[in-house]
Amino acid sequence: MQVVSPSASNFPMLRVLFVVLYLVLLTFSTSGDISSSVNFTIGALLSGTKFMKHFNLSICDIRAHVNEKQISFTALTEVSDLHLMCMLLIYTFTIYMDIKILASNALTATKQLCSMISAGNARFFAVVVSNPPNSPSTPPLSISYVAALYGLPVIGVSTRQAAFSNKYAHASFLRTVPPYVEEAKIWAQLISVFEWHEMIIIHSDNNHDSKALIARLEAARQTVDFKITQTIGVNTDEEDVVNLKELQHKVEPIQRGQTRVILLFVTRRYAEHVFTVADRLGIIGKEWAWIVSEQCLGAKNLPLGALSVRLAQSDELRHVEDAARVVTEGIIKFTRREPKIMFGLQSVHHCRQELESPRNLSQSWLYYNTKLYQAMTEVIFEDGETGHVEFDSHGDRVGALYDIVNVQPHSDCGVPKPSCKPVINTVGKYVQAKRGSKKPRFSIEIDRIYWPGNYRAMKPSDICTKRNSRTNECIERAMRPRPPPSSKKKTHLKVVTIQSTPFVDYVPKPSGGQCNTSDRVEDLKFQVPCTHTNATTGASACYLPVLSTTFFVISIHPPFIILSFLLCCSCRLCMLLGKGGKGVRVLDYMCYFHGKYV
């Protein structure tokens, strides 16, 4: 049977029929004395009517018995004309009506929650909340603040901002999705596997998520050897009026530097501006590597070769199902622990209620709401719609499954073309560590990764494919793909000296004698006969060339793996460098004798 009501206000008799049907079904569904049943009301403010109806069905199907009393739940969603309770939905009536979904305006959303609290008749124990429709980045801050004020547990199904982990501001909030900042742990795993040691971060400088992400990356440096060479903050609040010239001025230092790995943590719309500027500067091509946040995957100009992580189960319908199970199991668990309290406990009557500690604390909502919230965070089940469901002490989801994804050219296009839309393929898996577990599970297929510019390189692996028959020494190893290096070293040599006039130390050469024949200790034994004579006296001398200042070599890269400085460079050593230095540029030396250059 299906009853369709395009507009309940146009059919007053039909509205009465709904109420009569509800009362009849409610009467038949209650067996025995009414006092033997206990009902809890759970509210929902979601992003669409489809999710609201699914939530109603999920809540109304749950039953339990505690101390010979039947525990049931009423799903409460704010509607325009009347509140339909569970039993209408259980008996397969499909009602089409104007269900009010979560408003994007904070004040309107607060009024929605308050109207649900008033309709709950002091038995309103929790609310499941999502984001406003078409606004996935808008968090339900007002709902969480008001609920925390009255101690009502809030279960988020799509809220991933780091601010909700702060229990001082969001004391009663828990969520079936992990925060975005958890990506930092996966990024650190990728950095370790790819053997990268340098990277650049481009992040939003005006939100808490970026600060939390950088803090977690810094913490990861204790176990993974890498350094952040540049940190570029951008104001993502102005994503609609971005000055591309200013953005390019901020990003240009990347082009001039040596680091080739870029981590991007911004909003989807701002990521499009970053990719536009990066394409102009030529830093998304070959020998570059990009790891972007999950929010950036929706960018229209997502570059080929970019890596990212994505929550494997992000469907809101599935999270609504798990949230309904978390809240009901938490209430049932706490009711079995404190049956006498929960049978008569009253929550909040309305938002104008002043919560003062009553004399009888055993019946105080302020006293027991924290314990009820704790019971919900202790709920664990393996067979959830989104996999393993568990929470940490902050109410954040743990044990979630992530896909490591790679932006690749479409297989039907052959060579990548501007007209070919790229595809996002899974190249690895990551499972968060559960409570009590130290290590997550991580796997990635490097050979399936498409790098920017179709970069391809191989390196020997640890697998030996051929050994010496006599010495058993490995003489051939299997090759494996090598990711692009995290930095590009310069191959030119720079030699820098302090400008000064060179000089020589000399001793007079005995008439008819030779150098290095003096018996005097103070005369050095590395004298070189000077081939020139004094133009006035005709005398000759023995000299020892030295430099008056330090000779520095400040930038030498392969193949010249040398970094040193020379003091008092002798003539013989200078000649050696000049002849056998393989391209090392050596200063020209002049013989200074008796005050004249010769």
Locate the domains of the chain by residue range: 33-77+103-177+315-397, 180-312+400-454, 494-597
Q: Is the C-alpha dihedral spanning 481, 485, 488, 491 positive or negative?
A: negative
Fill in the DSSP letter of residue 224: S
- How far apart (Å, rounded) are the C-alpha atoms in residues 545 and 249? 50
Q: Are 345 and 368 in contact (CB under 8 A)?
A: yes
What element of type H or E holds 127? strand 124-129
Contacts of 492 (CB under 8 A, 6+ apart): 555, 557
- How far apart (Å, rounded) are the C-alpha atoms in residues 93 and 161? 38
Q: What is the 3-state secondary structure (H, E, C) of 14-53?
A: HHHHHHHHHHHHHHHHCCCCHHHEEEEEEEEECCCHHHHH
Q: Residue 522 has what pLDDT?
A: 59
Q: Does domain 180-312+400-454 correspond to CATH entry 3.40.50.2300? A: yes
Structure tokens at 255: 């082009």
Pairing assessment for the beta strands 381-384 and 387-391 based on DSSP bridges: antiparallel
- How far apart (Å, rounded) are the C-alpha atoms in residues 189 and 227? 14
Fill in the DSSP letter of residue 171: T
For residue 476, report the phi and psi dihedrals to the nearest 5 degrees.
-155, 135
- How far apart (Å, rounded) are the C-alpha atoms in residues 204 and 234? 5
Q: What is the 3-state secondary structure (H, E, C) of 552-591?
A: EEEECCCCCCCCCEECCCCHHHHHHHHHHCCCCCCCCCCC
Structure tokens at 459: 């390196």
Instruction: Give CATH superfamily name and number for 33-77+103-177+315-397.
Output: Response regulator (3.40.50.2300)
- How far apart (Å, rounded) are the C-alpha atoms in residues 22 and 89? 10
Q: Residue 112 has what pLDDT?
A: 92
* DSSP, residue by residue, 492-556: --EEEE-----EEEEEEPPTT--TT----TTS-S--EE-S---TTT---EEEEEE-SS-EEEEE-
Tell me the C-alpha to C-alpha distance, in Å, between residue 235 and each of 157, 393, 459, 486.
27, 32, 41, 26
Fill in the DSSP letter of residue 253: H
Q: Residue 524 has what pLDDT?
A: 58
Structure tokens at 281: 């500067």
Q: Residue 520 has what pLDDT?
A: 67
- CA 58 distance to own-chain centroid: 32
Within this chain, domains 33-77+103-177+315-397 and 180-312+400-454 share the same CATH topology: yes
Query: Helices in 221-364 by DSSP H: which ranges?
Result: 244-256, 268-281, 316-337, 339-344
Q: Which amino acid is at 343?
A: F
Q: List strands edge to edge, sheet with 503-508.
A: 503-508, 541-546, 528-529
Q: Tens-digit pLDDT profile for the chain (598 aa)?
A: 444 444 444 445 555 565 456 545 544 544 444 467 889 999 999 988 899 989 988 888 888 889 888 898 988 875 433 344 444 443 333 333 345 688 889 999 999 999 999 888 889 999 999 998 888 788 999 999 999 999 999 999 999 999 999 999 999 999 999 999 999 999 999 999 999 999 999 999 878 899 999 999 999 999 999 999 999 999 888 777 788 889 999 999 999 899 999 999 999 999 999 999 999 999 999 889 999 999 999 999 999 999 999 999 989 999 999 999 999 999 999 999 999 888 888 888 888 876 655 555 456 788 899 999 999 999 999 999 999 999 998 999 998 999 999 999 987 665 556 667 889 999 999 998 877 666 888 999 999 999 998 888 878 878 888 888 888 888 888 888 889 999 887 766 777 777 665 556 667 777 767 777 766 665 556 677 777 777 777 777 776 655 444 444 444 444 443 333 333 333 433 333 333 333 333 333 333 333 333 3
Q: Are 447 and 465 in contact (CB under 8 A)?
A: no
What element of type H or E holds 3? none
In the numeric block, the tokens 């994804």 are attached to: 405
End-to-end C-alpha distance for the chain, whole angstroms: 116
In the numeric block, the tokens 């069905």 are attached to: 57
Contacts of 440 (CB under 8 A, 6+ apart): 185, 189, 430, 431, 432, 433
Structure tokens at 435: 């409570």
Virtual torsion, Cα 206, 208, 209, 210, nearest 10 deg: 50
Q: Residue 461 has what pLDDT?
A: 79
Structure tokens at 452: 């920017």
Q: Is the C-alpha dihedral spanning 499, 505, 511, 512 positive or negative?
A: negative
C-beta atoms surrounding 296 within 10 Å? 23
Tell me the C-alpha to C-alpha distance, in Å, between residue 287 and each of 387, 452, 454, 483, 486.
38, 7, 9, 9, 9
